[in-house]
Amino acid sequence: MPCPPLVRRAFVCCSLFSKGSRQEHPHLAHYYRGRYDGLTLVMKAFRPWWTVDLGSSKPVLGTLAAQAAINNYLCRIVDQGTRMPLGGAPVIIGESGIPFDIGGKAGFDLSLQIQALDRTMQAMQAALVSVTLWNYTPDNTADDGDRWNGEDLSVFSREWQFTPDDLYSGGRALPALVRPYARKVCGTPLSMTFSTSEPNRRFTFTFRHTDGISASTEIFVPHYQYPDGPEVTISDGEFRLDEQLQSLFYIHSTDRAEHTITLSLKTRKIV
């Protein structure tokens, strides 16, 4: 099958959805929003047990409550996209990230940064929304950060690149950044969860298949999280792992409407 022609997509704000470009090319428009954890970004401090609900502007206390507030806010953004004029639009969080100079200039202990980025990415997955991260700066340093605006948000730093031949060398907060996700779905996604705090690195994805379509659902399975390959549990159907592509291809059965795929670390057998 030939590849589709390259098209330019319009990223438009809600105030522009009723204007000409949206009416003339409704299938090319996306609802674009940025989302940062403002307290962490501005104060350069991360507390997993507090945040501010951006919907109500009220503080939220408690680790689980803070995560839920961020999840719910992103879900509301996705809902706004579905209710846009002319049939709604796909949603993308076009800018998000965390400061790596939490508590001062970034050092080599990134435990707080991993927690901060994981909280953000958990929310993105809970809302089932696409996201692009700010940013990648190839010449980032601890002293100068991203060399712009006093910021230090790059997921890569040359000073961390001790082994240039290693794909992951130089990456920062990789346990939260390099995560499994559903790349292609034969139906409607219902839920997706993954947390770096779980010792078995459990990933769970549930979707409802679309009748009449027999294509496979594709899950990105990073070697970084599952160096020995994952333990795979499926609700039905069959799957195939491709280690070279770091992908799982799942074919659902038609005996049920909803399907679940679970990944976890393999249990090591003691001989």
SS (H, E, C) the chain: CCCCCCCCCEEECHHHCCCHHHHHCHHHEEEEEECCCHHHHHHCCCCCCEEEECCCCEEEECHHHHHHHHHHHHHHHHHHHHCCCCCCCCEEEEEECCCCCCCCCCCCCCHHHHHHHHHHHHHHHHCCCEEEECCCCCCCECCCECCCCCCCCCCECHHHCCCCCCCCCCECCHHHHCCCEEEECCEEEEEEEECCCCCCCCEEEEEEECCCCCCCEEEECCCCCCCCCEEEEECCCEEEEECCCCEEEEECCCCCCEEEEEEEECCCCCC
Query: What CA–CA distance (Å, rounded) separates 167 from 173?
Result: 14
Q: What is the pLDDT of residue 38?
A: 86
Distances (CA, A) of 168 to 138, 165, 223, 224: 13, 9, 11, 8
The Cα–Cα gap between 134 and 95 comes to 6
User: Of 41, 65, 67, 69, whose CA–CA distance to 55 is shortest?
Assistant: 69
Backbone angles phi, psi at 217, to 5 degrees: -90, 135
pLDDT value at residue 147: 93
> Which ranges of the chain have pLDDT less than 50?
1-19
Q: How far, in Å, CA of 159 to CA of 171, rounded?
A: 10
Q: In this predicted structure, what is the pLDDT of residue 179?
A: 97
Q: What is the pLDDT of residue 271?
A: 54
pLDDT at 28: 64
Q: Which amino acid is at 251?
A: I
CB 171 within 8 A of CB 160: yes
Count of residues for the chain? 271
CA distance 183 to 269: 31
pLDDT of residue 73: 93
| Mean pLDDT of the chain, nearest integer | 87
Q: For residue 6, what pLDDT is reported?
A: 34
CA angle 183, 184, 190 (to 5 degrees): 90
Strands 29-34, 91-96: parallel, antiparallel or unpaired by DSSP?
parallel
Looking at residue 45, its pLDDT comes to 92
Q: What is the pLDDT of residues 201-239, one digit of tens each?
A: 999 999 999 998 889 999 999 999 999 999 999 999 999
CA distance 117 to 40: 10
d(CA 115, CA 247): 26
